[in-house]
Amino acid sequence: MNAKNYLGQAFRLDQRINSKLEQVASLNELATKATHTLTGMPRNPNRATSTMADSVAKIIDMQAEIDRDIDRLIDLKREIIDIIKAVDNTECQTLLELRYLCFKSWEQIAVDMGYNVRHVYRMHDLAVSLIKVPETSQ
């Protein structure tokens, strides 16, 4: 795995967590929309009607999955921080932190650092060339 892909893992994992959070919100919304249709017909006692319980179980499963992903994201960010700290150039460290830990756009990084975007791209190329990706990730 090259340095850019390795560093970009945190952003992709963060996106997946946000997607799952949206899914949980959607499931919560569905669970609260419990409606009953009243008819004069007797109900089948063998029919499973616990849609609320099913929804709650799915929500709990999704939240557990989100918790695992958050733990993985925290561990991955710790690894990325260690890799970035190994870069000798402090400007490159700052750029890498803004991009791969704060998930800022190139334009926002340029504004924050006081450079034009083309210079930020050149600095990024230099910074990525200084990254040493762990052997287990390759």
| b/e map 14-41, b = 16+ CB within 10 Å | beebeebeeebeebeeebeeeeeeeeee
**For the segment 19-76, what is each residue's pLDDT rounded down to a tens digit?**
999 999 988 887 777 555 555 656 665 555 566 777 788 889 999 999 999 999 999 9
* Greater model confidence, 43 or 107: 107
Provide the H-helix boundaries in the chain. 3-31, 51-85, 90-100, 106-113, 117-130
